[in-house]
Amino acid sequence: MSRRAKISILWLIGDRGLSGIFWDNDSLAALLALELKVDLLVLLSDVEGLYSGPPSDPHSKLIHTYIKERHHGGITFGEKSRVGRGGMTAKVKAAVHAAYAGIPVIITSGFATDSIIKVLQGERVGTLFHKDANLWVLPKEDGAREMAVAARDCSRKLQRISSEGRRRILLDIADSLEANEKLILTENGADVIAAQESGYEKSMISRLILKRERQGHLNISSLANSIRILANMEDPVGCVVRRTEVADGLILEKTLCPLGVLLIVFESRPEALVQIASLAIRSGNGLLLKGGKEAMRSNMVLHKIITEAIPENVGQKLIGLVASRDEIPDLLKLDDEIDLVIPRGSSRLVSQIKESTKIPVLGHADGICHVYIDKSANMEMAKQIVLDAKTDYPAACNAMETLLLHEDLLNTNGLNDILAELRSEGVVLFGGPRASLAFEIPGTNSFHHEYSSMACTIEVVDSVLSAIEHIHSYGSAHTDCIITEDKEIAEIFLNQVDSAAVFHNASTRFCDGARFGLGAEVGISTSRIHARGPVGVEGLLTTRWLLRGNGQVVDGDKGIIYTHKNLPLEKAMEI
């Protein structure tokens, strides 16, 4: 019979545990662990683990595995913890004592509520002490930083080449994708089969498939064509958006420039890798990509094809593919090297990333998109829009999840026809309190639910203002639509719904970078700072101020006569 391993965990924070004759709780914990012969000792700290230097120093790195032969004497300790007696010095001493006597030790944060759960689940958190650590083959401690630094270095080389040079790279990538279509689809097919065998949800498998039978969905040719469209669009990098004469002979220009290094974490959707990489190249940014394990084969072959098309004078490390999720925590700490994180996936993924980094995060957690049919709607038009918004690609974040109906439409032939069509397409209907009674359908568990499948919620409202209130209460500020022939009602909806995209008489599925004419998108943002809605090239740019003078000095502003005259815009000189 197999024996379930018994794990005894001792966690002690500061002086809230035992005290008195013992110098500190960490040494006491180590002694007790040895006496009880526990399987694991966890020491909780006010930081995430052992760093190579003071944790406040941005150049200090978290040491995931302590190796006595490598790290002893090479660590600079900061001030003692505010909540402990011995600080990190005492913790390390106690951990080394226990570990080299045969008890594995992990030092991790006591402020993160799930630290112990992560340790038990085998996640790479904190610092591990083990007597055999020197025998293990370990990844380089600074591998994440090296990847980010290399991406920044290559991005600066990319920025030095001409707009035509960046355009040429994109065209070469498009040609290479089409030339390798068979290989790409073979690897993608293997991912799909593996995902099906592993029991992944149908919505995730749908997002995973590159070649889809339904017309209008992405395949390799359409991906390549979207890259060509992007390549042939006007290049905004270096574009002057404002010119001002500050004073006589002193000209100020506000120009667009790349953000620097982007980290994109995405689930399924291997086509996202292609779109994001293309946008990064067009915008002059370095890029680090981490896809889900369910799309590993697809992502690897796409990354190889794309990077092989990047010339040597730029470097293939412009786009790094992160191999393991264990590297993500390290990357999220690099706020001095990575300029923007864009998560594309579940609300859980987005929330985890936002809680784990100081780097600005752009994206959306949910896609709770609404379609509101007003009492004046053309019901034949409404039927076409609703069916498209729900059934064209239900796994998409811009698919309709809630259908709002004006109460005057109840028991009308037009509405009954729409509901019948939804059912005939296989859509499962759930209702709010009013709709579940009116249509005798099961009640929804929550209005704030993204089905990502052939299901939706229906509710009845008494006016456009009630519809707006419902959207603000339960929506995700992604994309919302009104169907009405009343222009005044339409304008109320368009101007008062506080979402990234608001439509009148058009399917929510139009909220897409390619359909908006952006060429592609890195994602859709519901943030209210920086980019909002589908994020294309311009969403990956920031501004740089260029001032050209002829010897002017401030000198307390005594000799300067400020004119602040607006000047005509001109294309800035390419770097």
Residues 6 or more apart in contact with residue 471 via CB below 8 angstroms: 370, 372, 404, 480, 497, 499
Instruction: Name which residue leads in pLDDT, 1 or 287.
Output: 287
pLDDT band at 363 (very low <50, low <70, confident <90, very high): confident
Same domain, yes or no: 195 and 318: yes
Task: Pick 219 or 304 by higher pLDDT.
Answer: 304
Supply the range of the domain harboring residue 385: 369-518+524-529
Does pTM surpass 0.75?
no
Sorted by sequence, the CB contacts under 8 Å of residue 289 that are 6+ apart come out as: 264, 266, 273, 276, 277, 299, 303, 319, 320, 321, 322
Alpha carbon separation from 475 to 17, 51, 301, 479, 524 (Å, rounded): 46, 42, 37, 9, 15
CATH number at residue 509: 3.40.309.10
Opening angle at CA 509, ends 504 and 515, nearest 5: 95
Contacts of 522 (CB under 8 A, 6+ apart): 262, 264, 275, 276, 279, 342, 344, 513, 535, 536, 539, 540
Residue 101 and residue 119 in one domain: yes
Return the higher-pLDDT residue of 9 and 295: 295
Task: Say whether pLDDT at 328 is over 90.
Answer: no
Distance set, CA 317 to CA 154, 171, 278 (Å): 7, 19, 15
For residue 153, what are its two tokens?
């270095």
Q: Say how far apart CA 256 and CA 542 lie, in whole Å.
A: 6
**Residue 59 or residue 563, greater confidence:** 563
Closest to 442 measured CA to CA, from 424, 458, 430: 430
| Residue 364 included in any domain | no
User: Does a structural domain hold residue 540?
Assistant: no
Residues 280 and 388 reside in one and the same domain: no
Residues 125 and 67: their CA atoms lie apart, in Å, by: 16
**Among 164-168, 458-462, 568-572, which is the least confidently predicted range?**
568-572
Q: Which of 135, 154, 177 is the last residue of a domain?
A: 135
Q: With cut-offs at 50, 70 and 90, classify the pLDDT of residue 326.
A: confident
- The answer to whether the beta carbons of residues 249 and 562 sit under 8 Å apart is no
Same domain flag for 487 and 391:
yes
Same domain, 374 and 265: no
Token pair belonging to 445? 């568990």
Q: What is the C-alpha to C-alpha distance for residues 505 and 74, in angstroms, rounded to an integer?
A: 66
Pick from 226-230, 480-484, 520-524: least confident: 520-524
pLDDT > 70 in the chain, percent: 90
The model's confidence at residue 572, banded by pLDDT at 50, 70 and 90, is: very low
Summarize pLDDT for 75-124 with one digit per residue, the tens.
Answer: 666 555 444 456 888 889 889 989 989 999 999 988 877 788 888 877 77
574: in domain: no
The residue out of 326, 355, 384 marking a domain boundary is: 355
Q: Would you say residue 436 lies in a domain?
A: yes
Tell me how long the chain is: 575
77 lies in some domain: yes
How many whole angstroms separate alpha carbon 266 and alpha carbon 345?
6
Q: What is the pLDDT of residue 352?
A: 84
Q: What is the CATH number of the domain that holds 304?
A: 3.40.605.10
Model confidence at 8: pLDDT above 60: no
How far CA 521 is from CA of 67, 504, 573, in Å, comes to: 44, 22, 27
Burial status of residue 362 (CB atoms within 10 A of its CB: 0-12, 13-18, 19 or more) = buried
Q: Rounded to whole angstroms, how far apart are CA atoms 267 and 295?
A: 8
pLDDT of residue 139: 58
| Residue 262: CA count within 13 A, CB half-sphere | 30
Structural domains counted in the chain: 3
- Total Cβ atoms within 10 A of residue 425: 12
For residue 378, being part of any structural domain is answered with: yes
In 3D space, the residue among 351, 354, 195 whose CA is nearest the CA of residue 268 turns out to be 195
* Shared domain check, 80 and 49: yes
* Same-domain status, 342 and 395: no
Residue 513 has pLDDT above 70, yes or no: yes
> Where a domain ends, among 114, 135, 156?
135
- The Cα 319–Cα 300 span in angstroms is 12
Query: Could you tell me where the beta strands, DSSP code E, fall in 393-506?
Result: 400-406, 428-431, 455-461, 479-483, 501-504
Task: Answer whether residue 425 is part of any domain.
Answer: yes
What whole-number distance in Å separates Cα of residue 315 and Cα of residue 158? 9
Q: Is residue 555 part of a domain?
A: no
Residue 475: its pLDDT value, please?
Answer: 95
The pLDDT score that the predictor gives to residue 210 is: 86
